[in-house]
């Protein structure tokens, strides 16, 4: 028996139905299958007319097997509305080549953000081009505001948009580790509800992390000219042309970051040198920010269409019922190849908020095949999430995703042409991502090129896992719990509490009965050591050309020092980013295991 072939886990819960109706059903639709039919038909329009019926059936079958689109695809494909099928965007604040953004740049960026948010896209920004709070404004008459003041303006725009769109808006604010406003930025959310539409991240460099390790000094710098008082104190121009505002102990800044992360789960860290070092397009683009959930590092105007595959559908003989559990890699391989085609079609068919998005997307054709239900799949295979064998299985799954996604993209390039900026010398060079592909796939890339510059992205999958995955575990996260409460707001009504059960748990109960003891491989997020969370990301990262969104859930009693050790170890593992969360019973509650309460800024993909 395969989990996806014979579903004995019961029907969808009232929450699954409520989320489906609130976010994904078009007028006249009543079921998930109605959504699947609409999406499959809409995305087949990019095919040749004589092939559209065939690909409609192929996409529909793939959707039924758990290879779905991310939230914007499922909500907007085939609908007569102004929504986009693209979840992820990164916007510049200034114009190309500018090192300091002025007031007109900020106004322009606010307008561009509003258009994108109205169409359902989440946006990330690098705010490092904003002059520090004490920059000399009179000299340039720029009217530039501080980073925190600019974020206030972007937050207001997004919060207003949330009143129009039931999904709400999601944004990411990134600031470099050497920006003079860094301390104010990382402490802005501590102890108060500020910037509710934003997730915060600090872009940390290897040089900064080495300074932290060595207890060295760190220069806070910016191209903006300091004010006269600062100049009188000896501000100086550095060799890179920036002004040095202050020299402080690196660990002083590190402590501010870790204390803020400990208290408010923010900021997360983006290891920006690891991100750019692993980017196959590093010669032609520089990445300084990510989308709101962090799984997609993107250049200015970059975007990505996403589509997770429910891994729990590919487990044969789950929990050992009828035989030794096995993972159907052949079935997953086929699903990945179809998924690549469907997501590539979305680039052709989606509505773009801005022309800049379309031009950047068509030049590089980024897509993000991802997963959901990893923890459920491991549990069905009788593997505890934190066990080395579970990480080994996850790594095998990652390689299956990678190899088949790149093979499918090479086949699409043969049929439709490579992405315009493709260079075989660059992509197949030693040390690039493609160098790790199997020989046959590399040869296909050499012959035909690649249709897509990036193909893999592991995102959170909150609402689609509810609406289309029967509440399977989200993304690559461990199961939050097996039975718990979730507070959800729909149709602008007051939030309502729902009791829900994890999909793998319901399947186990259907197979073994309500009174059977849960085996020890049933492990929840709160039972997993923080370092084991990181080890799972490290097992998957070599197979993912974009990045991985993963929150390390820590016990409430975790100390600041322990948080700092986790953040530092993530850098040592060469991960691309990390976010931690320490539940606080005094916070606003989204998830609850009676009586504890947990919350995170919403970011539905």
pLDDT tens, 374-415?
A: 999 999 999 999 999 999 999 999 999 999 999 999 999 999
- Are the CB atoms for 331 and 314 separated by under 8 Å? yes
Residue 10's SS3 state is coil
Catalytic residue among 88, 158, 293, 472: 293
CA distances from 199 to 220, 290, 460 (A): 23, 11, 14
Residue 584 inside a domain? The answer is no
Indicate whether 232 and 97 sit together in one domain: yes
Q: Which residue has the tokens 């709160």?
A: 526
Indicate whether 200 and 240 sit together in one domain: yes
pLDDT tens, 420-449?
A: 999 999 999 998 999 999 999 999 999 999
Indicate whether 208 and 350 sit together in one domain: no
CA neighbor of 357 nearest in space, from 92, 175, 160: 92
Burial pattern 355-386, b for ≥16 Cβ within 10 A else e, equals ebbbebbebbbbbbbbbbbbbbbbbbbbbbbb
Residue 293 annotated to the active site: yes
Residue 360 annotated to the active site: no
**What average pLDDT does the segment 135-163 reach?**
73
Catalytic residue among 145, 295, 360, 501: 295
Q: Enter the DSSP assignment of 488.
A: E
Where are any strands of DSSP class E within 193-323?
A: 198-204, 217-222, 236-237, 243-249, 268-271, 289-290, 297-298, 303-310, 315-316
Is the overall model pTM greater than 0.85, yes or no?
yes
pLDDT tens, 70-120?
A: 999 999 999 988 889 998 899 999 886 678 888 899 999 999 999 999 998
Please tell me the distance from the alpha carbon of residue 403 to that of residue 142, in angstroms, as a whole number. Answer: 50
**Beta bridge partner(s), residue 364:** none
Please tell me the distance from the alpha carbon of residue 113 to that of residue 117, in angstroms, as a whole number. Answer: 6
Residue 507 inside a domain? The answer is yes
Measured at the alpha carbon of residue 202, what is the angle toward residues 196 and 206, in degrees to the nearest 5? Answer: 165
Q: Enter the DSSP assignment of 215.
A: T
Catalytic residue among 76, 291, 452, 471: 291
State the pairing for strand pair 367-372/268-271: unpaired
CA distances from 434 to 441, 453, 543, 568 (A): 9, 11, 10, 28
Structural domain for 111, as ranges: 88-290
The CATH number covering residue 214 comes to: 3.20.70.20
Indicate whether 324 and 268 sit together in one domain: no
Q: Sign of dihedral through CA atoms 232, 238, 240, 246?
A: negative
pLDDT tens, 166-187?
A: 566 799 999 999 999 999 999 9
Indicate whether 165 and 179 sit together in one domain: yes
Task: List, in order, residues 6 or more apart from 593 with CB less than 8 Å away.
Answer: 480, 481, 484, 485, 526
Of the residues 255, 290, 325, the one at which a domain ends: 290
Residue 277 inside a domain? The answer is yes
Q: With 60 as the cut, is the pLDDT of residue 10 above it?
A: no
Domain count, the chain: 2
CA atoms in the 13 A half-sphere facing the CB of 323: 8
Residue 577 inside a domain? The answer is no
CA atoms in the 13 A half-sphere facing the CB of 565: 9
Indicate whether 118 and 239 sit together in one domain: yes
Indicate whether 279 and 345 sit together in one domain: no
pLDDT at 486: 81
**What average pLDDT does the segment 223-239 reach?**
84
Please tell me the distance from the alpha carbon of residue 402 to that of residue 214, in angstroms, as a whole number. Answer: 37
């Amino acid at each position: 028996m395969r989990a996806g072939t014979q579903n004995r886990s019961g029907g969808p819960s009232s929450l699954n139905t409520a989320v489906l109706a609130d976010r994904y059903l078009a007028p006249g639709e009543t079921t998930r299958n109605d959504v699947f039919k609409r999406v499959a038909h809409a995305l087949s329009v990019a095919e040749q007319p004589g092939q559209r019926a065939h690909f409609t059936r192929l996409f529909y079958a793939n959707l039924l097997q758990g290879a779905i689109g991310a939230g914007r695809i499922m909500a907007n494909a085939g609908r007569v509305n102004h929504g986009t099928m693209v979840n992820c965007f990164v916007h510049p604040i200034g114009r190309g080549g500018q090192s300091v953004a002025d007031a007109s740049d900020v106004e322009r960026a606010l307008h561009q953000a509003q258009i994108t948010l109205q169409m359902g896209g989440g946006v990330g920004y690098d705010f490092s081009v904003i002059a520090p709070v004490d920059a000399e404004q009179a000299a340039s008459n720029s009217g530039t505001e501080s980073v925190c003041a600019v974020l206030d303006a972007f937050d207001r725009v997004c919060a207003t948009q949330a009143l129009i769109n039931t999904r709400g808006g999601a944004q990411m604010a990134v600031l470099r580790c050497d920006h003079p406003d860094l301390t104010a930025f990382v402490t802005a959310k501590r102890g108060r509800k500020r910037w509710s539409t934003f997730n915060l991240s600090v872009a940390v460099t290897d040089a900064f992390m080495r300074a932290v390790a060595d207890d060295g000094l760190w220069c806070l710098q910016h191209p903006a000219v300091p004010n006269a008082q600062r100049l009188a104190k000896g501000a100086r121009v550095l060799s890179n042309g920036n002004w040095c505002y202050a020299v402080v102990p690196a660990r002083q800044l590190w402590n501010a970051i870790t204390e803020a992360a400990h208290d408010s789960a923010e900021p997360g860290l983006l290891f920006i040198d690891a991100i750019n070092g692993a980017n196959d397009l590093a010669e032609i683009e520089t990445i300084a920010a990510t989308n709101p959930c962090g799984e997609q590092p993107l250049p200015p105007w970059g975007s990505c269409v996403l589509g997770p595959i429910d891994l729990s559908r590919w487990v044969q003989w789950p929990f050992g019922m009828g035989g030794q559990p096995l993972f159907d890699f052949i079935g997953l391989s086929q699903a990945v190849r179809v998924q690549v085609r469907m997501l590539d079609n979305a680039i052709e068919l989606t509505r773009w908020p801005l022309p800049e998005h379309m031009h950047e997307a068509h030049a590089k054709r980024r897509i993000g095949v991802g997963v959901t239900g990893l923890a459920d799949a491991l549990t069905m295979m009788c593997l505890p999430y934190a066990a080395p064998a579970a990480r080994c299985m996850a790594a095998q799954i990652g390689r299956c995703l990678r190899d088949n996604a790149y093979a499918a993209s090479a086949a699409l390039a043969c049929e439709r042409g490579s992405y315009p900026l493709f260079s075989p010398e660059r992509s197949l060079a030693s040390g690039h991502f493609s160098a790790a592909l199997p020989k046959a796939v590399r040869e296909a890339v050499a012959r035909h090129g690649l249709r897509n510059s990036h193909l893999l992205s592991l995102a959170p999958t909150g609402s689609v896992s509810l609406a289309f995955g029967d509440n399977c575990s989200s993304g690559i996260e461990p199961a939050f719990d097996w039975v718990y409460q979730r507070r959800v707001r729909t149709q602008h009504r007051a939030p309502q509490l729902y009791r829900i059960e994890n999909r793998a748990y319901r399947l186990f109960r259907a197979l073994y009965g309500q009174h059977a003891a849960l085996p020890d491989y049933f492990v929840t997020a709160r039972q997993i050591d923080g370092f084991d969370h990181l080890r799972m990301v490290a097992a998957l990262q070599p197979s993912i050309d974009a990045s991985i969104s993963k929150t390390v859930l820590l016990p409430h009693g975790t100390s600041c020092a322990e948080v700092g050790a986790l953040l530092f170890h993530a850098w040592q593992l060469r991960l691309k980013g990390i976010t931690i969360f320490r539940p606080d019973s005094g916070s606003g509650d989204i998830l609850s295991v009676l009586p504890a309460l947990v919350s995170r800024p919403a970011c539905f993909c």
